[in-house]
Structure 1
Amino acid sequence: MKILAIDDQQLVLLPLEKRLQESGYDIMTSTQANEAITIFKEFKPDLLIIDINMPHANGLEIIRTIRKEMKDETPIMVLSGNTDESLIVESFELGIQDFMKKPLSLDEVSARVKRLIGTVGNAIKKPLSQNSILQNRCVGVVIPCYNEENRLKSKEFIDFVERNSGYHLCFVNDGSTDKTIDVLQKLKEGREHYISIYDCDKNGGKAEAVRQGLLHISKFDDLDYVGFLDADLSTDFEDFDDLVKTIESTDFQIVNGSRISRMGANITKESARKVISMTINFIIVSILGMPFKDTQCGAKIMRKELIPIAFDKPFITKWLFDVEIFMRMKNHFGKQKAQEIICEQPLKRWIHADGSKLSMRDSMQIGFQLFKIHAEYSFKKDDNKKVRDLKPESRSTISVQPQNVD
């Protein structure tokens, strides 16, 4: 039995394709929604699975063409994050057999497919791959790495991408002098669609590694949101996924993790480090003029449309680039608007990991670097105010030309 699945986001199609192939179906997938009718006629599937909201084609129009013009009665299953009741009703009136609302599990999809077209008699009897959730959004995450050969938690990263669809992890090797690149290559092997490596020839510091990584993945068409996370996973994936859930369900443009000690949370820091952090944050809040609790948390998620505003130019500091991001947002949108579109979300867990790349010399320069940031951003106007209000629009096609990207 043949199944054709059409969705503009490859990160949604890949786990679906794998699961249905394991169940014995002959499946073809395509992200070219504008060619759906041609592919449908050539492949002649026994079942069509299609998304409705796609940038270059209207799923309802494709269904209408198949049912009204072609007079074809092939079973059609809609897989969509759009839960508008009128759209669902119209889909059934056009003759679809099922409507599945994202997010949903692969196990549920498999059960619905079997109900519609039955099972494949000659399917190989073997355990199916791990169940995962088909999401309604796709997220690119940059993980900067410098000499992480002995600290990188490869198993945790692998487990996460196998359990959670819709994520692409981009590891940036920031000119490591140990065998970090070998560890990353092994991590990527067999998972090329979900994991990529951006290799920098020279160590440029965390700020530039994050910037280059985000400029790189901003070219991926199927990503809705992008962000970054520390390689030591001091902020775990459960908390990061909560940040994503917040940005996709609100009008916030940036959601910033915040390491606030509070009842019910597991936030651990060394006493001296905590005092230093509080002092630095007091200075940062004074410079920004916005009531941030924690700008320096290494977990942030943002809409992809913000990349040209926040990351087009190199940062002037290696470690305080988070402050620069918010200064750029403030200069671009204005203080009031910036405070409306940036959300701080407390983490449930954050544990300081040994092996910080922040040297004593860097620490002693923090005060001077904050002064540089204040001077650079407080007395210069943003000359890139092209858009004052960014609407939360999925799968933007804004083109970004990264610097020094192969």
Structure 2
Amino acid sequence: MKVLAIDDQKLVLIPLENRLKELGYEVLTETNATKGIESYESFKPDLVIVDINMPLVSGMEVVKHIRKTKNSSTPIMVLSGNTDDNMITEGFDLGINDYMKKPLSLVEVCARVKRLIGAPVIANNVITNNGVIIQQRCVGVVIPCYNEEERLLSNEFTDFIVKNSGYHLCFVNDGSKDNTLEVLNNLRKGREDFITVYDCEKNGGKAEAVRQGMLFMAKKEDLDYIGFLDADLSTDLTDFDDLVSTIENSNYKIVSGSRISRMGANITKESARKIISLTINFIIRKILKMDFKDTQCGAKIFHKDVIEISFADKFVTQWIFDVEIFRRITLHFGLKKAKEILCEQPLKRWIHADGSKLSMKDSVKIVGQLGQIAWFYRGNKKNVKKESYSSNEATSFSLNKLKKA
């Protein structure tokens, strides 16, 4: 039995294709509706699974082609994040057989496939990775790594991408001196569609590693949102996914995690570090003119249309580039608009990880760097980009050309 699946996001198609093949179906996937229509003619599927919202040619055109142009009764299942009642009604009027709203369980999708066209004669009863969710959005996550050989929780990353379709992890090796690069390349083996490893030959600092990773991921057309996360998973991936849910269901352009101690949350910090954090936060609020509780949390998610604004230019500081991001957004949009598109979301869990590379002495230096930010971004937004380039050229982080591992 043949299944043709059409969706513009490859990260959604891969787990669907794998599971249907496990069940014994012959599967062909297309990420372009026009090619999907061409494949329908040559592949002659027993079932077509199609997304509605695709660029240039929509999934509804695929339905019209099958039902009206070809006058065919081939079963059609729609998997879509589009919940518009008129669209759903139009689909059934055209003759679709099923309409499923993302996010949804892959197990349910396969059960409905069986209901529509039956199970293959030679079916595979050994099914792996139950509990996979097909999301309605695709997310890129940049994870900077410097000497993380001992702390990199590989299983947590791989288990998450297996259970959650639509995630692509980009590990940036920031010139590590240990075997971090080898660990990352082993992590990527067999998961090339979901994991990218970038290697910086020399250490340039977290700020530049994140910046390069964010700009690279922004080039991937099938990603809706891109964020960054610390390699030690002091903020876990489930909490990060909560940040993603917030940005996809709102008008926010940036959602930043916040390590605020509150009832029902597991937030741990060293007491001395907490005192310094409060002092630094007071200064940051004065600089940004915003009531941020925690700008430095290493978990943030961005809408793609603010990536260029936030990361096009090198950062002035090494450790508090998060403050620079918010300052750039303020200068670009104005303070009022910036407050409307920035969101600070409390985390359910944040655990201080042993081996943090930021010492207490470094924390004190941050106060000086905040003064540097206040001075550097004092001008109007028209002068920021030009000034940023010349200043950063003079204070190069010596990051060699980033290359794909």
Verify: 1:321 aligned to 2:321, yes or no. Answer: yes
Post-superposition offset of 1:69: 1.2
Assess if the C-alpha contact under 8 Å between 2:257 and 2:298 holds in 1: yes
The equivalent of 1:238 in structure 2 is 238
Assess if the C-alpha contact under 8 Å between 1:261 and 1:267 holds in 2: yes
The equivalent of 1:167 in structure 2 is 167
Partner secondary structure for residue 144 of structure 1: strand
Write the deviation string for residues 167-213 of structure 1: whole angstroms up to 9, x where unpaired: 11100000000000011011111111111111111101000000000
AA of the residue aligned to 1:343: C
Sequence identity of aligned pairs in percent?
A: 64
Assess if the C-alpha contact under 8 Å between 2:200 and 2:401 holds in 1: no
Post-superposition offset of 1:383: 5.1
- Residues in 2 aligned to 1:187 and 1:128: alpha-carbon distance in whole angstroms: 19
The equivalent of 2:390 in structure 1 is none
- Residues in 1 aligned to 2:221 and 2:401: alpha-carbon distance in whole angstroms: 20
- Residues in 1 aligned to 2:276 and 2:328: alpha-carbon distance in whole angstroms: 25
- Residues in 2 aligned to 1:111 and 1:257: alpha-carbon distance in whole angstroms: 37
Assess if the C-alpha contact under 8 Å between 1:239 and 1:347 holds in 2: yes
AA of the residue aligned to 1:303: H
Assess if the C-alpha contact under 8 Å between 1:216 and 1:405 holds in 2: no
- Residues in 2 aligned to 1:303 and 1:78: alpha-carbon distance in whole angstroms: 26
- Residues in 2 aligned to 1:214 and 1:28: alpha-carbon distance in whole angstroms: 31
Report 1:206-355 matches (<5 A).
206-355=206-355
AA of the residue aligned to 1:347: L
- Residues in 1 aligned to 2:168 and 2:285: alpha-carbon distance in whole angstroms: 33
The equivalent of 1:393 in structure 2 is none
- Residues in 1 aligned to 2:134 and 2:49: alpha-carbon distance in whole angstroms: 13
Assess if the C-alpha contact under 8 Å between 2:139 and 2:224 holds in 1: yes
The equivalent of 2:119 in structure 1 is 119
- Residues in 2 aligned to 1:258 and 1:125: alpha-carbon distance in whole angstroms: 45
C-alpha root-mean-square deviation of aligned residues, in Å? Answer: 1.4
Partner secondary structure for residue 263 of structure 2: coil
- Residues in 1 aligned to 2:358 and 2:380: alpha-carbon distance in whole angstroms: 29
The equivalent of 1:60 in structure 2 is 60
The equivalent of 1:90 in structure 2 is 90
Post-superposition offset of 1:356: 1.1
- Aligned in 2, Cα 1:384/1:114: closer, same or farther, shift over 3 Å? farther
Assess if the C-alpha contact under 8 Å between 1:332 and 1:384 holds in 2: no
The equivalent of 2:40 in structure 1 is 40
AA of the residue aligned to 1:307: I
Write the deviation string for residues 112-167 of structure 1: whole angstroms up to 9, x where unpaired: 00000000111233233333110000000000000000000011111111111111
- Residues in 1 aligned to 2:315 and 2:158: alpha-carbon distance in whole angstroms: 31
Number of residues of Structure 1 aligned to a counterpart in Structure 2:
389
Post-superposition offset of 1:381: 2.5
When normalised by structure 1's length, the TM-score is: 0.94
AA of the residue aligned to 1:336: K
The equivalent of 2:197 in structure 1 is 197
AA of the residue aligned to 2:226: V
Write the deviation string for residues 35-66 of structure 1: whole angstroms up to 9, x where unpaired: 22111101110000000110121111121121
Partner secondary structure for residue 71 of structure 1: coil
Assess if the C-alpha contact under 8 Å between 1:130 and 1:162 holds in 2: no
AA of the residue aligned to 2:70: M
The equivalent of 2:128 in structure 1 is 128
Partner secondary structure for residue 264 of structure 2: coil
The equivalent of 1:80 in structure 2 is 80
